Structure formats: structure tokens, C-alpha cells
Amino acid sequence: MTTDASAATGTTAATATASTTASTTATATADAPARYAPAHTPRLNWAEHAPEVFKAMLRLDAAARKGLDPKLLELVKIRASQINRCALCVDMHSKDALAAGESVERIVQLSAWEESEHFYTEQELAALALTEAVTVLTSGFVSDEVYERAARHFEEPELAQLIAAITVINAWNRFGVTCRLVPGHHRPGQHA
């Protein structure tokens, strides 16, 4: 079981795999590794400056995942992180999902899940619709249709946990994006 704790430790990012790969020959052919752009540096190591906040986030993360299927949770976390464009979170949760036995196809299709419904269960689809609605609040409320679809597939306590879990990944996304934490360094299980 992993948490988003490395959202706090993005400062170790300078040695990205991509940077290492980028130092290869200038005469690259179609088969040679691509020359990637350098990694950016994080803006702020927020957890170091706000340790009590970090502790509360870990506590919240642990509380919100209780009672939820771990594979469903990773799908929700990846989708919210895509919408909020949190690079570190996408990296972390895609790797965690793969490590938990999720298929590459289902992860890849997440950004277009409404058009690839046959990759997912009805319950997962309801959770993804709720994830989008709760993540994009600025465009207006969580519609009755989306809420009722989720309520059809989740018992009330589980639905409350799902709402909490969507809320928590949105919180990690905000720390990751604002502090510009660097993706690429997460190893599945490192925060177990």
C-alpha cells in the first residue's frame, strides 16, 4: 500500500531517467534513445516547511482509502491527476496501478474512458464520472445524474469514502502542481 508521500520529496528529482538518457550520442537514429529536455526543478519543498500539514495529509490519505478497492482507487487517482495535470501524481499512480496488477490498456484508456466503456465495469465508470465532477467543481456542481449513477453502484459508506478519496487526490494534486514537484522517480511500494 502506498501513499502520495513523495509529493513531499520532489527535491531529489535532478537525476531524472530522462536526463540520463538524453546524454547519448548526437547522431541519433530511429533506433537510438531520444534526447529529452532537462528536468525542471521543484519550487518549494512544502512538507519540510509544513511538517504538521504533511502529517495531516498522510493521516487523511490513510483514512480516505479505508474500505475502497485498491485497483479502483488507483484508477480514480490517475484520472483526477490527469485532469489536474499533476505530473508527479500521474507517474506515481500509474506505476502503483501497474504494480497492483492493473493493465496498461486500462490505464492508457483512462483519458478517454467515456469512449472506451468496455474496458471498465459499470461501477468503475460511475466512479470515474464522479471523479470528474468532483474534480472540476469550478464548472458547476456535481450533477444529480452523476451522483445517482454513483449511488446505484456504491453502498452509502463506500460512496462517502469514494468522495473522500477523490477529495484527497485533488489535495495531493494541488501540492504537486503548485510546488512543481518533479515526476519520474517514484518506485511502486516506496511509501508502503
| Least distance to other proteins, CB of residue 159, Å | 6
Per-residue binder mask for other proteins (CB under 8 A), 55-94, x = binder: xxx-xx--xx-x----------------xxxx--------
The answer to whether 150 and 133 have CB atoms below 8 angstroms apart is no
Q: Which residue lies nearer to other proteins by CB, 102 or 113?
A: 113
Q: Give the range of 19-27, 93-101, 119-127, 135-143 binding other proteins by CB under 8 A.
A: 135-143
Region from 39-47, 89-97, 98-106, 118-126 binding other proteins, contact rule CB under 8 A: 39-47
Helices (H), 31-183: 46-49, 51-65, 70-83, 87-99, 104-108, 122-135, 144-153, 156-178
Sites for other proteins among residues 94-133 (CB under 8 A): 130, 133
Nearer Cβ to other proteins (22/142): 142
Residue 178 binding other proteins, by CB under 8 A: yes
- How far, in Å, CA of 73 to CA of 28, rounded? 40
Task: Round to whole Å and give the CA distance between 32 and 124.
Answer: 39
The residue among 27 and 138 lying less far from other proteins, judged by its C-beta, is 138
In the complex with other proteins, which residue's Cβ is closer, 100 or 142? 142
Give the side-chain half-sphere CA count within 13 A for 158: 15
C-beta of 63 vs 99, nearer to other proteins? 63
DSSP 61-76: HHHHHTTS-HHHHHHH
User: Which helix (H) or strand (E) segment is 19 a member of?
Assistant: helix 17-22
Alpha-carbon separation of residue 79 from 5, 12, 36, 48, 50 (angstroms): 19, 25, 25, 28, 27
Q: Which of 102, 162 has the CB closer to other proteins?
A: 162
Which residues sit at the interface with other proteins, rule CB under 8 A?
A: 43-44, 46-50, 52-53, 55-57, 59-60, 63-64, 66, 83-86, 130, 133-142, 144, 147-148, 151, 156-157, 159-161, 163-164, 166-168, 170-171, 173-175, 177-180
